């Protein structure tokens, strides 16, 4: 049976090939169907990052045009203890955005920004508006681990 | 006594006429006869610049796509010269020599021959406003294409300055350590990138207006190929009156 | 000793046949010596070779001319701007010719740095050997050819000091690197001797992490990012143009900032 990493790369290059006609080795490839977010995040060499350094970061779409999906508002732990990044999503230039909670395993660090690699904008639009009920803020000085991706272009 | 007053009045009239002619002469200084509107060096440099500027702009769009400055906006494969990063860069770093050499010769020629002074100056703000109003009413004077209206003068000066600005910001981006003082003056490396992009936008904006107006008045295009009307000593076109 | 720069397997002849004209033109430019790396071959098969060869030839010729101009513009005494440690981006930005899942971590305990070419001491170095050498730190701006930049902090052995230790011929033209991720790279000697060129072992106060080149990467403040190979396994001092991964695909070689 092919190694998970091989499956990951080959399967997604085929899919990504259509979307990323420009780059031969695109960054921010989504996890293959069937692989859990935790597994796919673990394959991206997660690095320690200070939660306070994430607040305000732009959250980008992993495509050449680097569309801005939103900004990081805060980081919380949900009722199951999973770390979620609350993103002010959508709208235009900050107007009319709404907060949604994105699992940190669905996101990557790209330099001074973040990207959401596991969900398309269409899927993100279906996310419920974030409610702080049952969640706990993660302190600014806390260190969490977030996966990496190469830049998208 | 009356005679002397009459003499003085007629003297004044003569001198007023003299003043009027003098004013005209200041606007259109005496020049050599037989010259065409666009001497051949100007024509060659114009078309070289046209090709090179297009190369710089479209290869620049390719470089831009590698890390977009305006998030959400990219040019895409149909608009870029160089199908991917390496070739956009190679076109850009090749074109830059032709742009600078051609540009320097053009500037030297423009100053040394008096062409800039003659054709681009003076610009009076009231004239600019009036020309804009006229243009919006489609009253584009094109009887005498040898005299640039105020908006033309302004646009040509702007595009020359934008071209110079592109070379300066380009050098800052190309050598941010060797020219680190220049980068500091421009406000930092990323700011220099934004300024370089903005300069491109100004030039592209100029190009759209310039090409559109040339197509609306096709004899200006022909003038840049064949030279245009011959100029009288006054600097106006021969056998045509000022509109 | 067999040169560390010869590939383990010869390139696939069928791929080369298809692209003979392009390869010949690249070879004429002296951009490919000692065989293509596997990584470059993968890229070449996806390459669009429909561009007119003459145009590419001219562009590459001008690129080589630009290398000469850049060498003239390079001031060996000019230091890149430095920044306060508080501005260091943590973690730094990752980039490679593949995405991060494909990073192949190196075992620091068994890792050896091979040294070859115009040097008097060709012994291999362990990580502790290098850590015992005098270290320098710098906080500088990393600038990528793509256009992005970030401020990072690296600590390591000045390459100049290392070259002097191994008795390198400092009049030689090139310092070439081989890496664990098939990313050959090389720089001019003048840039190698620049005070802000380090064999980096740390980022910030911490050991380099796996995705960022552990145990050792090149970090020079006077070159674009792609001239800073990660996971270095060998250094060669030579007068024969060594080229590099991206250079084989058409990117400029000098790439100085």
How high is the ipTM of this complex?
0.86
A153 lies in some domain:
no
pLDDT of C27 strictly over 50: no
pLDDT band with cut points at 50, 70 and 90 for residue B34:
confident
Interface B–C counts its CB contacts (< 8 A) at 72
pLDDT band with cut points at 50, 70 and 90 for residue C128:
very high
Domain with residue C57: its CATH number is 3.90.420.10
The residue among B13 and C205 whose pLDDT is bigger is C205
Contacts of C170 (CB under 8 A, 6+ apart): C163, C164, C189, C193
- Please judge whether A65 and B68 are an interchain contact, meaning their C-beta atoms are less than 8 angstroms apart: yes
Which chain C residues contact residue B69 at CB under 8 A? 147
If you average pLDDT over every residue of chain B, what do you get?
87
pLDDT of C98 strictly over 80: yes
pLDDT of residue C223: 98
Gyration radius of chain C's alpha carbons: 18
For chain A, which chains pass the contact test of at least 3 CB pairs under 8 Å? B, C
The number of folded domains in chain A is 1
Q: Is C93 on the interface with B (CB under 8 A)?
A: no
- Please judge whether A64 and B68 are an interchain contact, meaning their C-beta atoms are less than 8 angstroms apart: yes
What is the number of residues in chain A? 153
Which chain B residues contact residue C147 at CB under 8 A? 63-64, 66-67, 69, 193
pLDDT of residue B67: 96
pLDDT of B185 strictly over 90: yes
- Please judge whether B83 and C51 are an interchain contact, meaning their C-beta atoms are less than 8 angstroms apart: yes
pLDDT of residue A14: 53
pLDDT of residue A19: 40
- Please judge whether A110 and C211 are an interchain contact, meaning their C-beta atoms are less than 8 angstroms apart: no
Share of chain B above pLDDT 70, in %: 81
Contact between residue A51 and residue A139 where contact means Cβ atoms under 8 Å apart: yes
Kindly report the three-state secondary structure assignment for every residue of B99-158.
HHHHHHHHHHHHHHCCHHHHHHCCCCHHHHHHHHHHHHCCCCCCCCCCCCCHHHHHHHHH
Q: Which residues of B5-39 are buried (b: 16+ CB within 10 A; e: fewer)?
A: eeeeeeeeeeeeeeeeeeeeeeebeebeeebbbbe
Assign B76 to helix, strand or coil. Answer: coil
Nearest CB to C257 within list B64, B93, B177: B177
Contact between residue A39 and residue A4 where contact means Cβ atoms under 8 Å apart: yes
CA of B173 vs chain C CAs: smallest distance (Å): 8
Q: Is B215 exposed, middle or buried (0-12, 13-18, 19+ CB in 10 A)?
A: exposed
Q: Which residues of B42-51 are buried (b: 16+ CB within 10 A; e: fewer)?
A: bbebeebbee
B9 lies in some domain:
no
CA of C90 vs chain A CAs: smallest distance (Å): 7
Which chain B residues contact residue A68 at CB under 8 A? 71-72
pLDDT of A23 strictly over 60: no
The number of folded domains in chain B is 1
CA of C186 vs chain A CAs: smallest distance (Å): 23
**Predicted structure pTM score:** 0.83
pLDDT band with cut points at 50, 70 and 90 for residue B107:
very high
- Please judge whether A45 and C102 are an interchain contact, meaning their C-beta atoms are less than 8 angstroms apart: no
Instruction: State mean pLDDT over C42-69.
Output: 78
pLDDT band with cut points at 50, 70 and 90 for residue C37:
very low
Contact between residue A140 and residue A55 where contact means Cβ atoms under 8 Å apart: yes
The number of folded domains in chain C is 1
pLDDT of residue B141: 65
pLDDT band with cut points at 50, 70 and 90 for residue A131:
very high
Domain with residue A92: its CATH number is 2.30.30.240
Nearest CB to C99 within list A48, A50, A150: A150
Q: Is A125 on the interface with B (CB under 8 A)?
A: no
Domain that holds residue A95: 4-148
Q: ω before A65 within 30° of 0 (cis)?
A: no
**In Å, how far are A21, A152, B72, B88, C70 from B77, measured between CA atoms?**
9, 15, 16, 11, 30
Contacts of C174 (CB under 8 A, 6+ apart): C186, C187, C188, C189, C237, C238, C239, C240, C241, C242
pLDDT of C28 strictly over 90: no
Q: What is the pLDDT of residues B139-174, one digit of tens each?
A: 766 778 888 988 889 999 999 999 999 999 999 999
pLDDT band with cut points at 50, 70 and 90 for residue C3:
very low
How far apart CA B202 and CA C160 sit, in angstroms, is: 46
Helix (H) or strand (E) run with residue B226 in it: helix B218-226
How far apart CA B72 and CA B63 sit, in angstroms, is: 16
Contact between residue C23 and residue C16 where contact means Cβ atoms under 8 Å apart: yes
**In Å, how far are A70, B106, C93 from A66, measured between CA atoms?**
11, 39, 16
pLDDT of C186 strictly over 50: yes
């Amino acid at each position: 049976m092919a190694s998970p990493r091989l499956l990951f790369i080959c399967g997604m290059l085929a899919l990504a090939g259509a979307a990323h006609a420009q780059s031969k080795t695109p960054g921010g490839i989504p996890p293959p169907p069937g692989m859990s977010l935790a597994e796919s995040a673990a394959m991206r060499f997660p690095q320690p990052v200070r939660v306070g350094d994430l607040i305000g970061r732009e959250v980008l779409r992993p495509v050449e045009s680097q569309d801005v999906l939103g900004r990081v508002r805060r980081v919380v732990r949900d009722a199951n203890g999973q770390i979620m990044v609350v993103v002010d999503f959508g709208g235009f230039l900050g107007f009319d955005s709404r907060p949604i909670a994105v699992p940190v395993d669905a996101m990557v660090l790209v330099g001074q920004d973040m990207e959401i690699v596991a969900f398309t904008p269409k899927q993100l639009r279906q996310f419920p508006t974030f409610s702080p009920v049952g969640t706990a803020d993660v302190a600014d000085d806390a260190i969490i681990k977030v996966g990496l991706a190469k830049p998208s272009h | 006594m009356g005679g002397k007053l009459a003499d003085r009045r007629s003297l004044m009239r003569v001198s007023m006429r003299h003043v009027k002619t003098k004013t005209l002469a200041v606007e259109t200084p005496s020049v050599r006869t037989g010259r065409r509107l666009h001497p051949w060096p100007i024509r060659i440099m114009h078309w070289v610049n046209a090709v090179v500027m297009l190369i710089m702009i479209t290869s620049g769009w390719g470089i831009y796509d590698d890390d977009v400055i305006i998030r959400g906006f990219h040019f895409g494969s149909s608009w870029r010269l160089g199908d991917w990063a390496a070739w956009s860069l190679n076109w850009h770093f090749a074109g830059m020599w032709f742009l600078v050499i051609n540009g320097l010769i053009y500037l030297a020629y423009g100053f040394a021959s008096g062409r800039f002074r003659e054709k681009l100056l003076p610009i009076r703000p009231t004239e600019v406003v009036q020309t804009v109003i006229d243009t919006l009413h489609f009253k584009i004077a094109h009887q005498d294409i040898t005299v640039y209206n105020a908006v033309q003068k302004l646009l040509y000066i702007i595009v020359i300055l934008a071209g110079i600005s592109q070379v300066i910001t380009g050098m800052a981006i190309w050598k941010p350590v060797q020219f680190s003082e220049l980068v500091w003056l421009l406000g930092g490396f990323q700011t220099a990138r934004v300024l370089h992009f903005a300069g491109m936008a100004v030039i592209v904006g100029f190009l759209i207006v310039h090409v559109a107006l040339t197509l609306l008045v096709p004899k200006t295009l022909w003038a840049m190929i064949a030279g245009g009307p011959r100029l009288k000593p006054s600097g106006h076109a021969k056998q045509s009156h000022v509109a | 000793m067999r040169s560390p720069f010869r590939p383990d397997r010869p390139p696939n002849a069928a791929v080369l046949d298809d692209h003979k004209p392009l390869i010949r033109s690249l070879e004429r430019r002296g951009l490919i010596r000692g065989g293509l790396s596997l990584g470059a071959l993968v890229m070449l098969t996806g390459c669009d070779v429909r561009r007119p060869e003459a145009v590419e030839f001219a562009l590459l010729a001008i690129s080589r001319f630009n290398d000469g101009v850049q060498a003239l513009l390079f001031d060996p005494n000019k230091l890149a701007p430095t920044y306060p440690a508080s501005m260091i981006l943590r973690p730094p930005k990752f980039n490679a010719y593949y995405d991060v899942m494909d990073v192949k971590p190196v075992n620091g305990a068994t890792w050896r740095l091979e040294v070859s070419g115009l040097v008097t001491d060709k012994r291999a170095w362990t990580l502790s050997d290098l850590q015992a050498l005098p270290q320098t730190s710098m906080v500088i701006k990393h600038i990528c050819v793509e256009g992005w930049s970030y401020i990072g902090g690296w600590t390591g052995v000045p390459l100049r000091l290392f070259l002097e230790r191994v008795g390198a011929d400092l009049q030689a033209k090139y310092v070439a690197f081989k890496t664990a991720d098939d990313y050959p790279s090389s720089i001019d000697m003048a840039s190698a001797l620049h005070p802000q060129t380090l064999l980096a072992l740390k980022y910030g106060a911490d050991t380099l992490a796996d995705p960022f080149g552990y145990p050792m990467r090149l970090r020079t403040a006077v070159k674009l990012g792609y001239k800073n190979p990660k996971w270095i396994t060998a250094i060669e001092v030579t007068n024969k143009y060594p080229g590099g991964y991206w250079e084989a695909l058409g990117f400029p070689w000098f790439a100085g900032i």
